[in-house]
Chain A
Amino acid sequence: MNALVNFSKIFKFHGGVHPPENKTQSTHLPIGHLSLPEKLVLPLRQHVGNMPKLKVALGDKVLKGQLLAEAEGTVSAAIHATTSGTITAIEDAVIPHPSGLPDRCITITPDGKEEWIKRQPQDWRNTDCQTLVASLRSSGIVGLGGATFPTHIKLRADRKSGVHTLIINAAECEPYITCDDMLMRERADEIVKGIEIAQYLLGVEKVLIGIEDNKPEAAASMRAATANNNMQVVVVPTLYPSGDARRLVHLVLGTEIPYDKRSTEVGLQVFNVATVLALYRYFEFGEPSLSRIVSMTGSVNQPQNFEVLFGTPLPHLVKAAGGAKPETTHYIIGGPMMGFDLPDENVPITKAANCIIAASPNLFAPPPPAMPCIRCARCADACPVNLQPQELYWFAKADNFEKANDYKLFDCIECGACSYVCPSNIPLVQYYRYAKSEIIAIDKAHEAADLARERNDFRLARIEREKLERAQKHAERAEATKAEAAKNALENQISTAPETNIQAGVGDAQKAAITAAIERAKAQKLAAQQAGEAPKNVANADESIKKEIAEIDARRESVGLETNVEKPAVDTEKQAKIAAAIERAKAAKVAAEAAKQNLTKED
């Protein structure tokens, strides 16, 4: 097959938008490298899923690549020391999360030696998949397209997953972001080797590499690297959000992954190009996931892509990009369509950080005040999922969550295309996030209520039963006393007959008492179980409690806002409510994402 010619048919999806790309600013310079920062702050949770289990203690000396925390439970990923040095803090610190809530982080003060642990490359071609996938669990590799889903789960490879086609997501459809572009330009050969590993692990032959047509250099580089194998580079039109996994699959294959199925259930697997490169580094050199390419762009003096160690404080990266321009107000992580404001400048770079944009009023003017929806349906024309955003907005605004569900709210990928084209400047996506988080909260409350009701029913039944048992006991005792009296009377009358009956009656009462005691013990045990298992360690408990308190505070604050603020003119009250709810939403969203796996971007 002539890899230089694009034979593939493109299957367009509904809607989509084409915002100004703003990519060239950060592609003038090759991928840069940073000096070691004074400290590296590694959040334990840089992925979707469970917090990994800490394996080091304060004051420990660690080597580069050393396991700091191991994956805990199914959906989790390991964390490694990104340089050699000393662990100088294990504490809660601000992380790049929209909630602004702190999370557990490990701080390493580098010794500057960059001393590696003993790396263990694997001869993957001659190793069975089960061993490889098992070892991948401690690689720390997660989806680097932004979804940060642990990669070893996507490769549960007994090679019986039925996956027949591997799609490499190199669309990179968001404006400003160029990390995958630069990676393909500079390291196409390594990417291709990574794809070969993924092919081996999944047992697939067919590979399609989807690249948007605004990256001709990357496409050419990938075509050259794939010239001698059967991987196919598919150039797709530049149309946001083509990098959404489901959209990309549709673009290159015409397959619509059913809403309630994962891609693997229809024989497809999607990997981001940076993720397969990480696979290559891991198996070929024994290097766990320690760094990624980050586009540092926007209002900085020299926008550029850098290879950044996880845990590098953002200011270090900003300095490397020539420093922030004076008009810079804050930083955005991700692209301008789906990114979010960083809560603080001093956050560490994590596995999810594909792009940091220094924001200024010149780049991102605040939107004009929202006007009422005029039902022009431009949003519906732009929606890549073919939803009716104007209806969803209406339902979300009216807290009509049942209807919102009927209109497939949870199929919304929050790509922002609807808000992008809204003439009334309505922050539609925030309404959807709000509605989703409320629905999730309501569902949880329902579950809790059901559980409480069950528990209460059980308690009432137990009380009733105990009452009956007591009554029975009383009756029996009374009977026994009566019988005793009768016996005495009979004995007095020199008679022996009823003795056996009396003994039998006493025996029954004893049995009943024992049963009741057992029941009580069981009930107590059950109650204890339901009240929650004993915390595994104190650190975890502290944190979960802190988090809960913070969430409760956020809730209270939102309620306070609702009750105290007069209804201002153009829906600002609702927006304030939403703003407060978003903090909750984000926390809930992580759970929802893990549960639903409706992952946007590369997953």
Chain B
Amino acid sequence: MNRSPYIFDAPSVSAMMLKVLLALVPGIITYLWVFGGGILVTLTLATLTALFAEAAMLKLRRRPIQPFLMDFSAVITAWLLALAIPPLAPWWLIVVGTLFAVVVAKQLYGGLGYNPFNPAMIGYAVLLISFPAIMTKWPAALQLAQTKLSFSDQFHYIFSGLLPNEVKLDAVTSATPLDYLKTQLMLKHDVASIKEAPLFGTLGGKGGEYVTMAYLVGGLYLWQQKIISWHLPTAFLGALALISGAFWLLDSTHFASPLFHLFSGASMLCAFFIITDPVSGPTTPKGKLYFAAGVALITYLVRVYGGYPDGVAFAVIFMNICVPLIDASTQPRVFGHEK
């Protein structure tokens, strides 16, 4: 029987996914340092929920459980969602979000390889629409907070919703820089004066900007390891810089600088970890450029004109819808054919 090739040289799906998880570690460590240990609780909850949901669904769908659990794709979904939601949100929030992402957005569509939408972004969008108050209540970076919560305080708060006696909620939370910028602009302040607020750092939000830089480092590792190609991150960051740059050049009193947009919110996570999900993204080189540029454009529009502080999740979901069209219309020229 003809079953050539007989030789193979490819990292397994598991190995690729593990590298993605590894690339998230610098970001997680920085996150831990900036916002405290609560993220570890969220990550653990998310991981356990994802694995449980994946296994249960595989069992219901009568699919082999072990190989699909070991592909670690559910863990990536869980981690991305955990890193995207506020770290001090109540425990059930991440559980609900992860369940939705894994069960509905992934397994109901056929599991690994068949989900048309990025599961983590579906989970995020569901949470944002269902629980907007919790989803926009971020803890302040530890260096800004009036009261610093210890790991056990954060742990306790996630599970009980109770803060230590003398601590007020306002003392440990703050708006995110993108959120703050948006509300202040609506109050007719200009960008320069808004950015004098303590929650802004050099590039993005104070503290938060370090996390985004750590994501950048992890992303470059993925690129170096050939897990992701340059197309998606470059096109996303480039397009975001271009669009925000154009607005900023036109009117810098009302529009934040490109650097601010690149290093705030979910930009870096999006560039290297979210839009690089191969399953729900385009496959052609040109298609990747269009897709990423589209995500950047929508993200910017939502940030500046939309009803939410950040627009990554909606942008990704919308562009996911366009993937079949993008792929079909960006087929590269086949050897020996005219275009």
Which A residues are closer than 8 A to B by beta carbons?
13-14, 17, 19-20, 98, 100, 175, 246, 250, 256-259, 332, 334, 336-341, 359, 364, 367-369, 371-378, 380-381, 384-388, 390-391, 407-408, 411, 416, 419-425, 427, 429-430, 433, 569-570, 579, 582-583, 586
State which of A250, A259, A369, A433 has its C-beta within 8 Å of the C-beta of B334: A259
- A375–B16 Cα gap in the complex (Å)? 13
* Chain A residues whose CB sits within 8 angstroms of the CB of B338 once the complex forms: 258
B16 x A423 contact (CB < 8 A): yes
**Mostly helix, strand, loop or mixed at chain B's interface?**
loop
For A17, A419, A430, the residue with the greatest tally of chain B CB atoms inside 10 Å of its CB is: A419
In whole Å, how far is A255's beta carbon from the nearest beta carbon of chain B? Answer: 10
* Chain A residues whose CB sits within 8 angstroms of the CB of B6 once the complex forms: 332, 336-337, 339, 359, 364
**Mostly helix, strand, loop or mixed at chain A's interface?**
loop
- The residue on B at minimum CB distance from A415 is B5
- A588–B59 Cα gap in the complex (Å)? 41
Q: Given A340-B3, A407-B331, A259 and B10 touching (CB < 8 A)? A: no
In whole Å, how far is B113's beta carbon from the nearest beta carbon of chain A? Answer: 3
Q: Given A98-B1, A340-B4, A384 and B335 touching (CB < 8 A)? A: yes
Q: Given A372-B112, A376-B16, A386 and B333 touching (CB < 8 A)? A: yes
State which of B1, B334, B335 has its C-beta within 8 Å of the C-beta of A582: B1
* Chain B residues whose CB sits within 8 angstroms of the CB of A364 once the complex forms: 6-7
B2 x A420 contact (CB < 8 A): no
- A388–B334 Cα gap in the complex (Å)? 9
**Interchain residue pairs A-B with the least CB separation, the first 3:** A372-B113, A416-B5, A259-B336
- A471–B332 Cα gap in the complex (Å)? 66
* Selected interface stretch from B155-163, B197-205, B275-283: B275-283
A386 x B3 contact (CB < 8 A): no
A258 x B3 contact (CB < 8 A): no
B336 x A422 contact (CB < 8 A): no
- A341–B331 Cα gap in the complex (Å)? 35
B337 within 8 A of A: yes
Q: Which residues in window 1-38 of B have CB below 8 A to A?
A: 1-13, 15-16
B13 x A374 contact (CB < 8 A): yes
In whole Å, how far is B319's beta carbon from the nearest beta carbon of chain A? Answer: 15
B12 x A368 contact (CB < 8 A): yes
State which of A256, A339, A369 has its C-beta within 8 Å of the C-beta of B336: A256
B64 within 8 A of A: yes
Q: Given A17-B9, A423-B12, A386 and B334 touching (CB < 8 A)? A: yes
B5 x A433 contact (CB < 8 A): no
- A430–B283 Cα gap in the complex (Å)? 21
Q: Given A376-B278, A380-B284, A341 and B336 touching (CB < 8 A)? A: no
- The residue on A at minimum CB distance from B15 is A423
In whole Å, how far is A566's beta carbon from the nearest beta carbon of chain B? Answer: 10
B327 within 8 A of A: yes
B189 within 8 A of A: no
In whole Å, how far is A227's beta carbon from the nearest beta carbon of chain B? Answer: 35
- A359–B336 Cα gap in the complex (Å)? 36
Q: Which residues in window 34-92 of B have CB below 8 A to A?
A: 63-64, 67, 71, 73
In whole Å, how far is A19's beta carbon from the nearest beta carbon of chain B? Answer: 5
B279 x A375 contact (CB < 8 A): yes
B112 x A369 contact (CB < 8 A): no
* Chain B residues whose CB sits within 8 angstroms of the CB of A372 once the complex forms: 110-114
A411 x B334 contact (CB < 8 A): yes
